[in-house]
Amino acid sequence: MLLTQNEDTIVALATPAGVGAISVIRVSGPLSFSAADKIFAGKIKIADSASHTIHYGKIYDSRGELIDDVLVSVFKAPNSYTGEDSIEISTHGSQLIVQKIIRVLIENGVRLAEPGEFTKRAFLNGRLDLAQAEAVADVINSRTEASLKGARNQLNGLLSQKIEALREMLINSSSLIELELDFAEENIEFVSLNEVKKNIESIIGEIDRLLESYSFGKVIKDGVNVALVGVPNVGKSSLLNYILKESRAIVSEIPGTTRDIIREEVSIDGILFKLYDTAGIRLTEDIIEKEGVYRSRDAVRNSDIVIFINDAVNGFSLELFNELLELTSENRIIKIANKIDLKPDVNFSNDVKVSAKTGEGMDLLFKKLKIKALGTESYSEKTAIVTNLRHYNALLKAKEFLLNAVESINSKMTGEFIAVDLRNAESSLGEIIGKVTTDDILNNIFAKFCIGK
């Protein structure tokens, strides 16, 4: 039974398994302090120390042998992550030490935590709502700073706030409609259905923005694939090298699956870009290079963005460009004129003029990459973004219902029919933050309108 489970004290390694400078072991539950005091020797007892304090000391095993010098952080209920008494033990980074400490804790009445159990307890103790609990998983899995920020924003309730605001707008519209239905005999100055429609349409607009954010939310979480394409000697390698130098390369040169394609991962403004260098391979059918050509085509097909590099001196490679158009859509392509240090006045159409040698124009290229990746320039840490598929689907559903409602208004259906879809939409939004109630609508009516009879 869960009741007894919650009486349990649980332990787990909180940092990734493997060798690091330090490892952190997390313990949560009623026995946290007493179990710690049985194995830990410091200046004062853990049980006697104040919440949110850190203590240096030594941990011994059951035979009294020293395991490690450690720091113990103390969090008292309810002011901890889980809402329970909990401690975090920072040890030197060694698998052996970690295993020994966990073992000695288990010997003292603590049990190993199940996956996600700390977060589950936090949720059960009301420390996190559903959307926040989901965000925890994202924080843990985030690989770049933006992805971490996105997840943290959600953890702070940014998306929840946004959804709540939309829900409120929707409840306002519903209230107007219900008012007319339930107080048929009142001389209520009813706002026209056109007004309601406008309101619904503006909510759809907001939902669209959130839906769009899913694509860059995903980008932020999973990264974006970029293929570098160009005929030989347009300066692809120097451009790649410049990008690697100027951005923070996360992994330098992951060996490609073939000898022809090199993949690099870089982070630009926190967004993960996976760069595929097609290494001078032309796309034209050539028997000798057939295998390589095949792979390059694949790389282009699978890329979210294609950087198409041209030589400012030698002109635009129209033939290659046309071939690209067969593999990807034009709006995914960034046309670059490279080597403008040699020829500043470029006489073909392009998106960015750069010099990989001097660095001129590279800022603009980075900006273009970001816009292409996110679909927007306006993304900031404060933007509510959707990174979770469940949320995305609920929003999609809400939008569908709202479109139905607009359709109902257009076809002159009366309030009770419009209300069906508004309620469904509201419930879909409510599902994201875990709220569904019909009372909200009625309460709103009473708060805002005059009713008699």
Of 62-70, 250-258, 354-362, 439-447: span binding other proteins (CB under 8 A): 439-447
Among 88, 178, 264, 265, which residue interacts with other proteins (rule: CB under 8 A)? 178
- Counting contacts by CB under 8 A, is residue 125 touching other proteins? yes
- Counting contacts by CB under 8 A, is residue 403 touching other proteins? no
Please report, as a single letter, which amino acid is at residue 143.
R
- Measured from the CB atom, the residue of 114 and 330 that comes closer to other proteins is 114
Please report, as a single letter, which amino acid is at residue 335.
K
Q: Pick from 37, 12, 209, 243: which is nearest to 120 by CA?
A: 12
- Counting contacts by CB under 8 A, is residue 190 touching other proteins? no
Among 123, 214, 216, 366, which residue interacts with other proteins (rule: CB under 8 A)? 123
Q: What is the Cα 183 distance to its own chain's centre?
A: 46
- Lay out the site mask for other proteins across 4-33 (x = CB under 8 A, - = otherwise): -xx---------------------------
Among 237, 238, 350, 424, which residue interacts with other proteins (rule: CB under 8 A)? 424
Q: In the sheet where 262-268 sits, what is the strand order?
A: 248-254, 262-268, 271-277, 224-229, 305-311, 333-338, 352-353
Q: In this structure, are strands 40-42 and 271-277 parallel, antiparallel, or unpaired?
A: unpaired
Identify whether the C-beta of residue 60 lies closer than 8 Å to the C-beta of residue 105.
no
Using only C-alpha atoms, what is the Rg of the chain? 29
Among 186, 246, 269, 289, which residue interacts with other proteins (rule: CB under 8 A)? 186
Instruction: For 140-191, give the DSSP string.
Output: HH--SHHHHHHHHHHHTTHHHHHHHHHHHHHHHHHHHHHHHHHTTTS---PP
- Counting contacts by CB under 8 A, is residue 404 touching other proteins? yes
CB of 50 to other proteins, least distance (A): 23
Report the alpha-carbon distance of residue 98 to residue 193 in Å, rounded. 65
Q: What is the Cα 219 distance to its own chain's centre?
A: 8
Distance between start and end Cα atoms, the chain: 53
- Counting contacts by CB under 8 A, is residue 130 touching other proteins? yes
- Measured from the CB atom, the residue of 379 and 401 that comes closer to other proteins is 401
Of 222-230, 233-241, 281-289, 417-425: span binding other proteins (CB under 8 A): 417-425
CB of 430 to other proteins, least distance (A): 8
Identify whether the C-beta of residue 134 lies closer than 8 Å to the C-beta of residue 152.
no
Of 190-198, 261-269, 286-294, 419-427: span binding other proteins (CB under 8 A): 419-427
- Counting contacts by CB under 8 A, is residue 420 touching other proteins? yes
- Measured from the CB atom, the residue of 276 and 401 that comes closer to other proteins is 401
Of 210-218, 270-278, 329-337, 437-445: span binding other proteins (CB under 8 A): 437-445
- Counting contacts by CB under 8 A, is residue 187 touching other proteins? yes
- Counting contacts by CB under 8 A, is residue 251 touching other proteins? no
- Counting contacts by CB under 8 A, is residue 416 touching other proteins? yes
- Measured from the CB atom, the residue of 2 and 19 that comes closer to other proteins is 2
- Counting contacts by CB under 8 A, is residue 437 touching other proteins? yes
Of 52-60, 65-73, 119-127, 225-233: span binding other proteins (CB under 8 A): 119-127
- Counting contacts by CB under 8 A, is residue 415 touching other proteins? yes
Among 184, 345, 347, 378, which residue interacts with other proteins (rule: CB under 8 A)? 184
Instruction: For 426-449, give the DSSP string.
Output: HHHHHHHHT---SHHHHHHHHHHS
- Counting contacts by CB under 8 A, is residue 393 touching other proteins? no
Establish how many alpha carbons lie within 13 A of residue 200's alpha carbon, considering only the half-sphere containing its beta carbon: 31
Sign of CA dihedral 372, 373, 378, 384: positive
Q: What is the Cα 397 distance to its own chain's centre?
A: 21
Which CA distances in Å does 426 have to 72, 178, 334?
Answer: 46, 14, 41
Q: If you search the block for the tokens 């570098």, which residue do you land on?
A: 228
CB of 126 to other proteins, least distance (A): 6
Binding site for other proteins (CB under 8 A): 1-3, 5-6, 123-126, 129-130, 178, 181-187, 401, 404, 411-417, 419-421, 423-424, 427, 433-439, 441-442, 445-446, 450-453
